[in-house]
Structure 1
Amino acid sequence: MAETELERAEKRYAQAKARLQALKNREATRQRKLDTRRKVILGGALMDLAERDSNAAAMLDRLIRNLSREQDRKAFTEWETPSPVPTDEDAS
């Protein structure tokens, strides 16, 4: 039996809808990966700054102590907050 024009249109519609959903899923995945990358970069930058700046070290310590999820706090149980390394400028 031959496909009617309506059936062909419904089939094209379903295919277009599936392509649109696939595009949305890819974009959402891309955004999540970008968000994760930003967090990793900022976290590394904060850790690096904490090694040079006592205010940043205190902020990092405070952030860790105030993590709300137990599983997140556990990730830091054996980790020590960086403390600023004294420089020649600090001796003056």
Structure 2
Amino acid sequence: MGDSKDEREQFEEELIGLDPHDPETKAFAEHLDRMKRERPGYTVEGYLEGVQDFADSANRTTGHQRLAAVLVVGLILLGVILTIWFALSDILTIIF
């Protein structure tokens, strides 16, 4: 699903008067593209693209926002590790 002509024209209309070679303009156009992108959230690919967007935005941030993103990822990983630990302990209890 490439960019259709209508989408490119819409971006051009929103960026009228801005220098197309300016890095800030390019970043703003990428931001608009991410905001308007629609993908199914009920598929594995949709979930993974959402995680990729989160990781990309976390890598671009600094300071408190980056700390909050690292904290969220850490809590998620802690939950996964604890779930695996408890599941393995239950399995080993049942077997032995």
TM-score by length of 1: 0.37
TM-score by length of 2: 0.36
* Structure with max Cα Rg: 1
Greater RCO between the two (CA within 8 Å, min separation 6)? 1
